[in-house]
Amino acid sequence: MRIVFLGPPGAGKGTQAALLSKKFSIPHVSSGDLLREAVTEKSAIGLKAKGYMDRGELVPDEIITRIIIDRISRGDAKTGFILDGFPRTERQAKTLDESLSKVSLSLDAVIYFETSKNVCVERLAGRRVCGKCGVNYHIKNMPPRKDGICDHCQGELYQRNDDKVDTIENRLTVYSQMTKPLIDYYKNGGLLKEVSGDLELEEAQRDLSDILREAQAA
Ligand code: AP5
């Protein structure tokens, strides 16, 4: 089952993908996480990507596309994947289609998280991430048991550089200009399903699970 999660920053794509990848036993492939790993490792790609990410701009298509195509070609993605944060431009979407079709594969569904702007801003500004295991929290909606400390590994929580208010605004603008047109791209391809990103975690997860079960059965 090959699924894409599409939606604005803060829609809950990463949170839901992490839970559903366990439930459906397919890898969660997050373009943002892969780029942040490269930044932490200070690899050549990470050094190139960092500035774009800190400003809330998209990293160049050729960099991210190579990373994603490599990742979904690995053995654990043979039975499928949830792509979170990729594609984000029409060029990325076309390259993904072409590379899947070279191995006689295609996407099963693209799930669009329709989310209000104020919800996105509130979620991003309150997000905290574990520096050790990467789990996401929210200071109000999903607080850790102990302030600033991860429930799972006791790692310290930090705020992402791009979760500062000015950068959030820029990310939302970039999303509207560069990524939102993919809604029509996938609608025209007959792949688009829609959920509300404004819903509470469990409700949204129920709707997403239904769509994933349908895709699995098809
Ligand atoms: P990336 O890491 O992909 O960031 P994003 O798309 O901006 O997505 P987010 O992680 O911010 O939002 P999300 O929808 O996953 O929300 P989450 O579940 O975390 O990308 C970062 C940067 O990398 C980009 O700006 C760009 O520079 C670069 N990049 C990445 N991919 C690229 C690509 N394809 N092309 C070019 N550049 C690329 O939730 C947010 C918060 O809300 C959390 O605190 C969570 O706890 C909380 N929350 C989640 N769901 C709910 C809910 N239902 N109710 C209440 N709170 C909730």
Q: In the predicted model, what is the mean pLDDT of residues 161-189? A: 95
Contact criterion met (CB below 8 Å) for 38 and 46: yes
Is residue 123 annotated as part of the catalytic site, yes or no? no
- The answer to whether residue 166 scores a pLDDT higher than 90 is no
What pLDDT does 31 receive? 97
Using most ligand atoms within 8 A of CB, pick from 15, 55, 141 the residue to mutate for ligand 1. Answer: 15
163 Cβ closer than 6 Å to some ligand 1 atom? no
- Distance between Cα 104 and ligand 1 center (Å): 30
Cα–Cα distance measured from residue 202 to residue 93, given in angstroms and rounded to the nearest whole number: 29
The whole-chain average pLDDT of the chain stands at 95
Output the six-digit token pair for 137: 């929290």
H/E stretch holding 55 reads: helix 44-55
Per-state percent for the chain, helix, strand, coil, to nearest 5: 50, 15, 30
SS3 156: strand
Residue 216 has what pLDDT?
Answer: 86
Average pLDDT over residues 140-147: 95
Position 213 pLDDT exceeds 90: yes
Torsion of CA 145, 146, 149, 151, to 10 degrees: -30
Sign of the alpha-carbon dihedral angle for 133, 134, 139, 142:
negative
Confirm whether 128 is a catalytic residue.
Answer: no
Nearest Cα residue to 14 out of 145, 120, 148, 100: 120
Cα(33) to centroid(ligand 1), Å: 9
Report how far residue 124's alpha carbon sits from residue 72's, in angstroms, rounded to the nearest whole number: 27
Is 145 tagged catalytic? no
Find out whether the beta carbon of 52 lies less than 6 Å from any atom of ligand 1: yes
Q: Which of 4, 19, 11 is nearest to 81 (CA)?
A: 4
Which one-letter DSSP state was computed for residue 141? Answer: T
Q: In the prediction, which pLDDT does 118 show? A: 96
Q: What is the pLDDT of residue 217?
A: 86
Which strands sit side by side in the sheet containing 136-138, from one edge to the other?
136-138, 127-130, 157-158
Q: How far is CA 133 from the centre of its chain?
A: 17
Residue 47 CA to ligand 1 center (angstroms) comes to 20
Label residue 57 by pLDDT band (50, 70, 90): very high
Beta bridge mates, 110: 4, 192
State the pLDDT at residue 218.
80
CB 197 near ligand 1, within 6 Å: no
pLDDT of residue 72 exceeding 90: yes
Residue of 36, 127, 128, 193 with catalytic role: 127
Distance between CA 72 and CA 77 in Å, rounded? 5
Q: Is 55 assigned a catalytic role?
A: no
C-alpha of residue 19 to centroid of ligand 1, in Å: 15
- 96 Cα: distance to centroid of ligand 1 (angstroms): 20
Ligand 1 and 64: CB distance under 6 A: yes
